[in-house]
Chains A and B, each alone.
Chain A
Amino acid sequence: MDRIECQWCQAQNEMGRTNCLTCGAPLDTKDLVTDSGWAEAPRLRDMTEFRFSNSTCQIEGEIVPVAELALAPGDSVFFEHHVLLWKEPNVPMSALNTGGGMKRMLGGMPHILSVAHGPGRVAFSRDHAGEVVVLPLHPSMELDVREHAFLAGTHSLTYSFVRIKGLANVLHGGGGMYMDRFVTHNEPGLLLLHGYGNVFQKTLQPGEKIMVEPGGFLYKDSSVTMNAVQQNVKTGLLSRGMNLAEMTGPGRVGIQSMYVHHGSE
């Protein structure tokens, strides 16, 4: 039986489908890849629906999109409490202690993540213009995400946070002190991020490097190393120069086109 492979998440879909069942990416439009290999994250059509576990997710709106989840019994998602837009009254909630209280307080990150359990519907929004990036994760994957970009993750993901190594990377890296880390073990998982502006992804070969504006970094495979590298150029009367994040493969790197500019004003 003929199948269509989604170019964003590589899931197999039945012929005739217009959207990927796993990530919602349009299947009837050609991939948008720049000459240097940056693939534009699929712009999800309004009301696009896709599945995870026994539940569904629907993306609504295009300027400040909303992710609405219909959770099946036994499924759950975790999220930062301030991204919750609405929920049905009967959706059970619980808390997920992230540990590392002092560290997270210093990093400006919430101590406790909220968990919504099925059955029922919940909806999330990051409250800013941009796009929802849908990242289905295969088993045994690790993904690092800049802080405050994560919208929701499914129960099969293990959440932790990692300190960004190196003082220079913390001070000049643009990603804060910590990154969120999402790990899958035996089951696949689904991660929803919010990207400000447009989002692009590039897959780096082993040893391949790319220099990125630190505020533009959105996510990376944990196999990609990130180092702040000072450029030997002056950017102002008193400023020493600018720092860029040097990303080294192998793995995927995601960036956003609307970003917070750090360290070289």
Chain B
Amino acid sequence: MSMPPATPPEGAYTCPYCRMASEGGSRTCPHCGAPVDVRLKVTESGWIEQPPIRDMARIRFSRSTCQISGSYVPVAEMGLHDDDWVYFSHHSLLHTDPQVRLGTLPMKGGWKRMRAGMPLIMMRAQGPGHIAFSADHPGETLAVPLHAGQAVDVVEHRFLTATGSVAYDWHTANVWFTTKDGDDEEWHYPLGKTMDRFTATGGPGLLLLHGPGNTFIRDLAPHQQILVQPGGLIWKDPTVGMFLHFEYPRGAYWFSSARWQAKTVWLLLQGPGRVAVQSVFERPETTGTVRRDSGSSTRHW
């Protein structure tokens, strides 16, 4: 993440997943819900496997709590204090106490958001009371606690809910390419047209995301690069750069024009910063000759 955590007091526990310090007295990290008493699983290449949040684990934020229940299609239940509020897309609301005050949080750039298939209006829920959210798909709930001033970029449609102290903004992903389709030019957005940016302003905040499949996190050193499937990215630090990379495998059908069109579309991520990927993703379109793109590298092999 973009901001280094505060130096923890001596003897405190620093969560290896969210990098937040706590007393370490409970079985789960109070900031992100990750289990404390499990062995850290790191692949030889440096990917840290994010352990699923245990059923009924509690996460604390401000004066409120978030409890994750269910293991297959998990539910995030917020116990909101009077002064706390959260915002979310209305599709993710599962149940609420009647006394929770529901309202709207208008978004800027309505036309662009509508074209990108993003909700035009976020809903907000003000405590006191309980309100629960479900992403309506199998996977894991990912809790990303943010220090004051810290920001993360999130791929569209991964957002579940965020606390009121987290400012929401969005920008164009600027990862695209075009192919020729007859006389027409077809546009491709492997990451989606937009990316969400969440920034903790004025104090710490909590961001909840939904990750289909399993989630892996990795720290990239300055200028270190990694190729990932575009549909596999969940979130990244804003310092991490993104570029397209096309690879053209050398096939047996050298005489076929399809040989020159068949390609692997990669997302090249360049450090410094953290990235999180999921094991479930949709592969981008592989056929068609690339005519224009947002900036890419190419390799034939």
Q: Tell me if A40 and B69 are in contact (CB < 8 A).
A: yes
Which segment, of A1-9, A48-56, A112-120, A251-259, faces chain B?
A251-259
**B274: min CB distance to chain A, Å:** 29
Chain A residues, Cβ within 8 Å of B77: 34-36, 38
Q: Tell me if A36 and B79 are in contact (CB < 8 A).
A: yes
Which segment, of B91-99, B158-166, B222-230, faces chain A?
B91-99
Chain B residues, Cβ within 8 Å of A259: 94, 134, 136
Residue A174 CB within 8 A of the other chain? no
Query: In residues 249-281 of chain B, which contact A (Cβ within 8 Å)?
Result: none
Residue A233 CB within 8 A of the other chain? yes
**B141: min CB distance to chain A, Å:** 11
A264 to B89 Cα, complex, angstroms: 11
Chain B residues, Cβ within 8 Å of A63: 72
Contacts A35-B130, A237-B120, A258-B136: A211 and B97 contacting too (C-beta < 8 A)? yes
> Closest B-chain residue to A238, C-beta based?
B120
**A39: min CB distance to chain B, Å:** 10
Residue A91 CB within 8 A of the other chain? no
Q: Tell me if A236 and B120 are in contact (CB < 8 A).
A: yes
| Contact flags A233-253 to B (C-beta < 8 A → 1, else 0) | 111110000101010000000
**CB < 8 Å: which of A35, A131, A200, A234 contacts B72?**
A131
Q: Tell me if A32 and B56 are in contact (CB < 8 A).
A: yes
Query: In residues 70-88 of chain B, which contact A (Cβ within 8 Å)?
Result: 70-75, 77, 79
**B100: min CB distance to chain A, Å:** 8
**In the complex, which range does the number of interface residues on chain B fall in?**
35 or more
Contacts A242-B90, A258-B138, A261-B136: A197 and B130 contacting too (C-beta < 8 A)? no
**A227: min CB distance to chain B, Å:** 12
**CB < 8 Å: which of A35, A43, A213 contacts B93?**
A213
**CB < 8 Å: which of A213, A233, A236 contacts B102?**
A233
**CB < 8 Å: which of B65, B95, B98 contacts A35?**
B65
Query: In residues 176-212 of chain A, which contact B (Cβ within 8 Å)?
Result: 196-198, 200, 209-212
Q: Tell me if B69 and A244 are in contact (CB < 8 A).
A: no
Residue B213 CB within 8 A of the other chain? no
Residue A231 CB within 8 A of the other chain? yes
Q: Tell me if A34 and B69 are in contact (CB < 8 A).
A: yes
| Contact flags B105-137 to A (C-beta < 8 A → 1, else 0) | 000001000100001110100000010101011
Chain A residues, Cβ within 8 Å of B75: 198, 200, 257
**A230: min CB distance to chain B, Å:** 11
Q: Tell me if A209 and B67 are in contact (CB < 8 A).
A: no
> Closest B-chain residue to A131, C-beta based?
B72
> Closest B-chain residue to A261, C-beta based?
B91
Q: Tell me if B73 and A210 are in contact (CB < 8 A).
A: no
Residue A129 CB within 8 A of the other chain? yes
Contacts A32-B55, A242-B90, A259-B136: A210 and B95 contacting too (C-beta < 8 A)? yes
Q: Tell me if A237 and B55 are in contact (CB < 8 A).
A: no
Q: Tell me if B121 and A246 are in contact (CB < 8 A).
A: no
**A37: min CB distance to chain B, Å:** 9
Contacts A38-B69, A129-B72: A216 and B119 contacting too (C-beta < 8 A)? no
Chain B residues, Cβ within 8 Å of A242: 90, 93
Q: Which of A34, A209, A236, A242 is most buried by chain B, counting CB atoms within 10 A of its CB?
A: A34
Q: Tell me if B97 and A36 are in contact (CB < 8 A).
A: yes
| Contact flags B194-221 to A (C-beta < 8 A → 1, else 0) | 0000000000000000000000000000
Q: Tell me if A210 and B97 are in contact (CB < 8 A).
A: yes
**B43: min CB distance to chain A, Å:** 26
Q: Tell me if A213 and B94 are in contact (CB < 8 A).
A: yes
**A172: min CB distance to chain B, Å:** 13
**CB < 8 Å: which of B55, B96, B119 contacts A244?**
B96
Q: Tell me if A198 and B73 are in contact (CB < 8 A).
A: yes
**A60: min CB distance to chain B, Å:** 17
A21 to B121 Cα, complex, angstroms: 49
A213 to B91 Cα, complex, angstroms: 9
> Closest A-chain residue to B91, C-beta based?
A261
Q: Tell me if A235 and B121 are in contact (CB < 8 A).
A: yes
Top 7 A-B pairs, shortest CB-CB distance = A197-B73, A198-B70, A36-B130, A257-B73, A257-B134, A258-B73, A235-B90
* B→A interface (CB under 8 Å): 55-56, 58, 65, 67, 69-75, 77, 79, 90-91, 93-98, 102-104, 110, 114, 119-121, 123, 130, 132, 134, 136-138
Given contacts A38-B77, A38-B132, A259-B134, 12 further A-B contacts (CB under 8 A): A129-B72, A197-B72, A209-B98, A211-B97, A212-B95, A213-B95, A233-B90, A233-B103, A236-B119, A244-B96, A258-B138, A259-B136
A-B contact pairs, 26 of them (CB 8 A): A32-B55, A34-B56, A34-B67, A34-B77, A34-B130, A63-B72, A209-B98, A210-B97, A211-B95, A211-B98, A216-B95, A233-B90, A233-B103, A235-B104, A236-B121, A237-B110, A237-B114, A242-B90, A244-B96, A255-B94, A257-B72, A257-B74, A257-B134, A259-B136, A261-B136, A264-B91
